[in-house]
Structure 1
């Protein structure tokens, strides 16, 4: 039986990323080193684990069989580490959070900075991507989402609700016809998501308002916010982002208001990991407080 866990860890990274370069980034190793280690593993097992093509590395039947066993070993390793006694009150090591870019830009920096102040030996990584994170592939230790997943071996915790309103810059409003009701929006340039790139139904803000044409569209909240701030048009903005945009104000507040929620998603295997649980608690508490603070300033 092959028992070199370090080689199995590299094998898992290649299987999940499907390229040596992707695995190298995850492992912080040179891709050539990862390739040599995979050749050594295949030689030790006397089996071809990957079919190599210009598109990347895909698992052979032997590789798929090893993947199942390697993931079992990974879960056992994580469980064993989680059960080690905690000898310090401070968090250490590295924790990676996946998040949609709205929360990643306007909430997580200050919340994680506060956690870092209390835990100076902890390395926190925020991965901001406009898509759902795959925790089973270990893309992150935990993720923030705007809807609760219903499939997979995941633990889901609602963190807090947040609010969104239409917003525009004072310069834009001064240069264009007044907006007194939702019907007036047809005379204005709208900012929003690219319709076919909305990765979560909860993000279809303009669709909820019956708006189908979006002249200025991006898959990034940050780009949308900058368009609004620069006077590009009218868009839906998180209330917690408004304090970061001088010269921008909410409009039609009493007529149009959206409520959404953030959820913290963790892999089931990490439930007994006290380190990740302590971080998750600090993260959730900090996010609730920061949303409340910023919405109070909007």
Structure 2
């Protein structure tokens, strides 16, 4: 198969338009169209359905795009490794983690990493879905469970628990609950038990909702739960790691918490020698050590 035609096909499939792909590739629309027709002829199939609003992949086109996408990600990884200098850290690093951990704990600390490595660019992908590292959907992940793939380098960073927090203003207005029997007088802010989240958090939410609760506000990530708590809307089910950065919050019902949730950093074995990965890993480990010391000092 002609690699140049495959590259053009990948650009067209990604853009959904001959014109946009041509702009990206610095080719005319007619030149791009000729290459796509030639590829279709060589494969004896139709790769795109054409309509007024653009192009849609056929079933055969989807198969070819999946293969081209995987190949492109492998090439990007190889290119990044080649560019990695033995002395310098630069280039783009794609980091995936959960919305809560990424927005509450990781993102506010990234300035220290940028101060040390100003030529490093971070693509921070926050979502609850577990991205496939071996398939190069991301370079490095911080996950709330141990990765299952065998071809990943992994490091356990810390353990967290889900606990209950509220603001002093909210507690002054509504009173501080002394036990779960006081929950009917309060609004519980949490993720829905069926929402995508760590299992320990879902179990705790189900346990709390088994009691009579006055009102609820459900949000599909911990960052949203935190904003509700900071707005004095109620008592939130939140990860304990936020207590360091939000010391104004008060822990409520301290005898209630989830089981431990392990936090792992992981990346593909093939990126073991990457200076960008090494720099990010060392930065996260240093921040975790500082976080642990701060918690111990305040305990």
TM range (shorter): 0.7 to 0.9
Distance in 1 of aligned mates of 2:295 and 2:58: 48
* 1:46-57 aligned within 5 A: 46-47=40-41, 48-51=46-49, 57=56
Assess if the C-alpha contact under 8 Å between 1:10 and 1:34 holds in 2: no
Which residue number in structure 2 is paired with residue 64 of structure 1? 63
Q: Deviations over 1:69-93 (max 9, x none)?
A: 66357536634753x4854422101
Give the length in aligned residue pairs: 285
Cα distance, 1:30 vs. partner? 5.1
Once the two structures are overlaid, the 10-residue window that deviates more, 198-207 or 213-222, is 198-207
Provide the rounded CA distance (Å) in 2 between the counterparts of 1:273 and 1:13.
Answer: 33
- Cα deviation per residue 1:106-128 (whole Å; 9 max; x = unaligned)? 22124422222121111122222
> What's the offset of the Cα at 1:190?
0.2
- State the alpha-carbon separation in 2 of the partners of residues 31 and 291 from structure 1: 46
166-175 or 122-131, larger mean C-alpha shift: 122-131
Q: CA separation of 1:226/1:290 partners in 2, compared to 1, >3 Å: closer, same or farther?
A: farther
- Give secondary structure in 1 for the equivalent of 2:88: coil
Q: Which residue of 2 aligns with 1:285?
A: 285
Match of 1:222 in 2: 223
3-state SS in 1 of match to 2:260: strand
1:215 aligned counterpart, secondary structure? strand
User: For the residues of structure 2 that align with 1:43 and 1:271, how far apart are their CA atoms?
Assistant: 37
Bigger Rg over Cα: 2
Equivalent position of 1:107 in the other structure: 105
Structure-to-structure mapping, 1:226-241, within 5 angstroms: 226-241=227-242
Farther off after superposition, 130-139 or 115-124: 130-139
Aligned to 2:250: 249
On the 8 A contact 2:161/2:258 being kept in 1, the answer is: yes
**Aligned alpha-carbon RMSD (Å):** 3.8
- Structure 1 residue 129, shift from structure 2 partner: 2.7
1:41, distance to aligned residue in structure 2 (A)? 4.4
Deviations 1:25-60 (A, max 9, x none): xxxx95673695864542342353344677974453
- Describe the superposition over 1:110-158 as per-residue Cα deviations: whole angstroms up to 9, x where unpaired: 4422222121111122222343334466443222221234359655432
When residues 46 and 197 of structure 1 are mapped into structure 2, their CA distance, relative to the original with a 3 A threshold, is same
In structure 1, list runs of 5 or more residues that go unmatched: 22-28
Q: 1:244 to 1:75 in 2, by over 3 A?
A: closer
Partners of 2:62 and 2:10 in 1: CA distance: 9
Q: Aligned ranges for residues 100-139 of structure 1 at < 5 Å?
A: 100-135=98-133, 138-139=136-137
Aligned partners of 1:75, 1:143: CA distance in 2, in Å? 17
Specify whether residues 87 and 203 from structure 1 end up closer, same or farther in structure 2 by C-alpha distance, changes over 3 A only. same
State TM-score, norm by structure 2: 0.75
CA, structure 1 residues 173+105, in 2 after alignment: closer, same or farther (shift >3 Å)? same
- Deviations along 1:251-271, one digit per CA (max 9) or x if unpaired, are 222443542222223345x33
